């Protein structure tokens, strides 16, 4: 995805959260879960192609730059609307350095260990989302 497409996705997601917060007077904490490509950072990533594109692959360094951009942009937008942002990227990368935390068949979703680590991250970070 190019920056314009990334920004569109971020804005749609953030605006939905902001609208929900206002409409229901809800307390929201946004936990960012990175893609497997970001967690494992292979040298070259071949995205699924649903529509014809000119880009057949992306380097790990370019993927990490886009990932950092996405996380930074979400954080900036959500902070302006008092929605706490918690980024699980570094925590999950650390865990994935010791074991595979995604499914063997469905590699887009966590396996048992991956979900347990995500739950640990959320449990350790959700409490401070709503402290005033």
Residue 56's pLDDT is what? 65
User: With 60 as the cut, is the pLDDT of residue 65 above it?
Assistant: yes
Q: Name the strand (E) or helix (H) holding 31.
A: strand 30-32
User: Which 8-state DSSP code applies to residue 126?
Assistant: S
CB neighbours (10 Å) of residue 114? 21
Pick from 47, 52, 49: nearest CA to 35: 47
pTM for the model: 0.84
User: With 60 as the cut, is the pLDDT of residue 43 above it?
Assistant: no
């Amino acid at each position: 995805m190019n920056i314009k497409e990334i920004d569109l996705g971020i804005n749609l997601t953030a605006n939905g959260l902001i609208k929900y917060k206002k409409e229901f007077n809800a307390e929201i904490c946004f936990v960012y879960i990175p893609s497997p490509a970001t967690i494992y950072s292979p040298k070259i990533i071949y995205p699924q192609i649903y529509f014809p594109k000119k880009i057949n692959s992306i380097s790990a360094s370019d993927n990490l730059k886009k990932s950092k951009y996405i996380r930074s942009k979400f954080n900036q937008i959500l902070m302006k609307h008092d929605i706490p942002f918690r980024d699980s990227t570094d925590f999950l990368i650390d865990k994935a350095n010791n074991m595979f935390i995604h499914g063997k068949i469905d590699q887009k979703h966590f396996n048992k260990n991956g979900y347990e680590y995500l739950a640990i991250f959320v449990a350790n970070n959700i409490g401070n989302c709503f402290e005033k």
